[in-house]
Structure 1
Amino acid sequence: MSPPTLAVFKLASCDGCQLTLLDCEDELLGLAGQVRIAHFLEASSAIDPGPYDLALVEGSVTTPADAERVHAIRAAAHRLVTIGACATAGGIQALRNFADVEEFTRSVYARPDYIDTLATSTPVSAHVEVDFELRGCPIDRRQLLEVLTAHLAGRKPDISGHSVCFECKRRGTVCVTVAHGTPCLGPVTHAGCGAICPAYGRGCYGCFGPSGSVNLPALIPLLRRDGMDERATERFLRTFNAAAFDEEPRR
């Protein structure tokens, strides 16, 4: 019986989530013995055609070519998992969604007529069915390994949907908002980073996107109490997962 095939694809992104997979090092060697890596240009120029048992997709859909390609990937993959903020929420490039993309291209490129781009940056799930979304900018290697082993074992990945606040409490980190009045997105952000920023006295920046129980209307008054006006609050929310947080109601 041949081993299951794994394919890793990149759309519009910085490659950071693919590098997280490569950084697994010893675990990756063990994984290589369990699967056949059929497509992973970050690691090898060798390409085998599909179908693939599992496809990982990094990056958002930002061009007409991306939109066509993601449909081809979906058709070739038995299971499709999106990895990282770009693939799951449009990424930091989704800041274009709140402005005029034509103005951006005129400002940045000497020949904007050469640029073929969409007006918005959208997650893969906006175009095709996705079997699982792994959050993060970049993703967490432990969560990535859990997703890979779960799919190989034919079970659902054990990735909790609680917030960063839970991780702060678990590691005994003093709440930076309560203790110092520091603006923090921890209450509405998906866990996975280990609450790194609050552990060093900084507020959470929302790298892992909205958690499973987001209540932005309750958080906004706290941010205002800590000295953030409407414009500052908007900028605070529009970072790595700008489009995802913007879908939540504002008050």
Structure 2
Amino acid sequence: MGTPTLAVWKLASCDGCQLTLLDCEDELLALAGQVKIAHFLEASSEVLPGPYDISLVEGSITTADDARRIHEIRARSRLLVVIGACATAGGIQALRNFGDVAEFASVVYASPQYIDTLATSTPVSAHVPVDFELRGCPIDRRQLLNTLCALLAGRKPDLPDTSVCTECKRRGLTCVMVADGTPCLGPVTHAGCGALCPAYRRGCFGCFGPMTEPNTKAFIPLLRVRGMSEGEIDRVFATFNVVAFADGDQA
């Protein structure tokens, strides 16, 4: 068996998740010794033809070209791993899903007739089968490295499906909601960040999206008790993972 090939792709996104991979630095050099990076335009102009053993895809589907490309990428990839809130939930650009794209374009662009975009921003999984998802805006570098190492070793990655609260407990952190009265989305947010914000006495703001079956209806009254207005509650859920949280019916 030859050296496994890795491809990294960008759709509609800010490049932040690809930069997380580049920021791995020493670990990335070690990883490069185990795989052949066949396509990663953020890092190299060298492009090798597929098929690819592992493809990492950043970004949501916001144009007809994105929709075409993701089918091509899926067909050329043995394993497809989507990375970041854009790829897993449509990203912050999915705010368009609740409005009129034509109206937005007429206000923002001087020549809106040249804008070619879809009416909605959707996750990759809405278009093709996905093997694994790494949440976050951006993704967590440790989770990324652990996932790549697991796939190269031929085993299933250990991706948690609990809330950020479980990570706070493992780190021995004091609950910021209980101790400080700080609004925090940790109880309904998917784990994976290592409880980064609560570790600095800040409330989680949900960049990893909702955990499986979040009980938002019971949780939202707790946010009200801690001083959040209805508008503030709407805004805190309408960020990186707006569509995913909306599907959870937090109202």
Q: Same fold (TM over 0.5)?
A: yes
2:123 maps to which residue? 123
2:173 maps to which residue? 173
In 1, the alpha carbon distance for the partners of 2:201 and 2:145 equals 29
> C-alpha displacement at 1:21, in angstroms?
0.7
In 2, the alpha carbon distance for the partners of 1:161 and 1:58 equals 21
In 2, the alpha carbon distance for the partners of 1:170 and 1:61 equals 36
In 1, the alpha carbon distance for the partners of 2:180 and 2:215 equals 22
* Unmatched tracts of structure 1, length 5 or more: none
Matches within 5 A, 1:42-61: 42-61=42-61
Paired amino acid for 1:170: R
Q: Which moved more, 1:33-42 or 1:162-171?
A: 162-171
In 2, the alpha carbon distance for the partners of 1:41 and 1:170 equals 38
In 2, the alpha carbon distance for the partners of 1:149 and 1:164 equals 23
Matched, 1:28 2:53: no
2:224 maps to which residue? 224
* Unmatched tracts of structure 2, length 5 or more: none
> C-alpha displacement at 1:213, in angstroms?
4.5
2:10 maps to which residue? 10
In 1, the alpha carbon distance for the partners of 2:166 and 2:216 equals 17
Structure-1-length-normalised TM-score:
0.96
Go from structure 1 to structure 2 and tell me whether the alpha carbon gap of 1:236 and 1:86 turns closer, same or farther (over 3 Å shift). same
In 1, the alpha carbon distance for the partners of 2:153 and 2:200 equals 37
Matches within 5 A, 1:63-212: 63-212=63-212
CA distances 1:121-168 after superposition (whole Å, capped 9, x unpaired): 110000000000011111111100111111111211012112111121
Paired amino acid for 1:234: D
In 1, the alpha carbon distance for the partners of 2:152 and 2:210 equals 27
> C-alpha displacement at 1:197, in angstroms?
1.5
Structure-2-length-normalised TM-score:
0.96
The 4+ residue runs of structure 1 with deviation greater than 4 A are: none
CA distances 1:68-90 after superposition (whole Å, capped 9, x unpaired): 11000001101100001110011
Q: Does the Cα contact within 8 Å between 2:213 and 2:248 map onto a contact in 1?
A: no
> C-alpha displacement at 1:227, in angstroms?
2.5
CA distances 1:20-50 after superposition (whole Å, capped 9, x unpaired): 1111111111111111111000010011111
Q: How many residues were matched structurally?
A: 251
